[in-house]
A = this chain, B = another copy of it.
Amino acid sequence: MPEVTRSLSARSSKSRSDTPAPPKRHRFTFASLRGNYQPELSKRLFRLIKSENYVINAYESAGHERQSIATQLSEWGEQTGDDAVSELSDKLGVILTEIGAQEDIFAQNLEDYRGILKQIRNTESGVQPSRDHKTKVQDEIARLKYKEPTSSKLVTLEQELVRAEAENLVAEAQLTNVTRAKLKEAYAQHFAAVVERAEKQAILAKHGRRMLNLLNDTPVVPGDTHEPFNSERQARQILYDAEEDLRIWTLNLEEVPTQAHSVVGGVLDGKAAATSSLAPRTAELGNHPAQLGIHPAHRKVSGASNHSNAGSSSSSATADPPYPISQEERRRREDMIAAF
C-alpha cells in the first residue's frame, strides 16, 4: 500500500529519499539550450513545461502502441485456428484499441494543461524586465548620488523611478493573479483529465473481463476438440454495452470554482482598477501625481477589456507585456513562443 503521506512535501530537500525518480537526463538539444536564455524568473517553469512534453510523448506512444498491439492480438487469434480464441481476441482487440484511444485523449488533455502553465511562464518572463528596469534605475540613482550629488539628471531619474515602481507594482500584481488563477485552472484541468481517463478505461476494462468469461478454458484431452464457439452474439453485446456506458458517462467532479473571472491581462478589469483601489493606491506611491496621467502601466490597465495580455489566452501570448519592452526583448519573446 503506497503511502501518500509518507512525506507531506514533494520538495526534494525534504523528501529526497521518498522520491525515487531523479530528473531524467534527456539529450542535449537546441531546445534544452534555449532554457538557458530564459529570464531567471521563468526558468523553473520553463523546464517543468518541457518535462511535461516528455510525459505527453510517453502517453502518446503508449496509446499508439496499445492500439497497434490490439490489432496484433486480433491477428494472432485468427491465426490460431481456434474459433473461440479468434473471435474473442478480435473483440478484446476492439476494447484494447479504445483503451489506447483514451490514452491518446489523455495526452491531448495534458497538452491543454501544459498550455495553461505556459501562460504563467509567459507572465513570469514578461515581469522580469520590469524588475530589472526598476533595479537599474535604483542603481543608477545610487551611483549618481555618490558621484555627482548635484546632477540635474537625478530629478529625471527619480521621476523615472516612480514610473518604474508603479509599473512594477502592476506587473507583480499581474504575476500573482495570473499565477494563482492559472495554477488552479491548470491542475483542475489536469486532475479532470486523470479522472476522465481513469473512469473510461475502468469501464472498458470491466467489459473486457466480461468478454473473457465467454472463453471456455476447460482443458481438452489429446485428440479432443472444444465445442464450437457460439457466443458471438454475447461478445457483440458486450461491445455495445461498453459503447453505451462510455456514451452516458459524464465527468462528475467536485467543482473548482475560480474567483479570477474579472482578471484581464492579469489584473482587475480596467474600469474597476481605474476607479477604485488602484487610483488611491498608486497615488500613495509618487510625489508626482501629475505623472499618473501618462503612466504607461496605468494606461495599459485602464484601457478596458480589448487588451488581454499574457494572462487570458495562449493565442495572445505574443502580445507585449503591459509595459514598454525593447525591440530585442520583443524579438526574443516571439522566438521563444514560436519555438513551441
Which residues of A approach B to under 8 Å, CB–CB?
A: 1-5, 7-12, 18-24, 44-45, 47-48, 51-52, 54-55, 58-59, 61-76, 78-80, 82, 84-85, 88-102, 105, 166, 169-170, 172-173, 176-177, 179-181, 183-184, 187-188, 190-192, 194-195, 197-199, 201-202, 204-206, 208-210, 212-213, 215-226, 236, 239-240, 242-243, 246-247, 253-254, 256-260, 262-263, 266-268, 273, 276-278, 281-282, 284-285, 297, 301
Contact = CB atoms under 8 A, between A and B. Distances in A.
A224 B276 CA distance: 13
Given A58-B62, A74-B11, A219-B267, A21 B100 contact: yes
Contacts of A52: 69
A109 B72 CA distance: 20
A92 B221 CA distance: 57
Nearest to A281: B223
**How many copies are assembled?**
2
A117 to B, nearest CB: 9
B9 A68 contact: no
A118 B74 CA distance: 17
A67 B219 contact: no
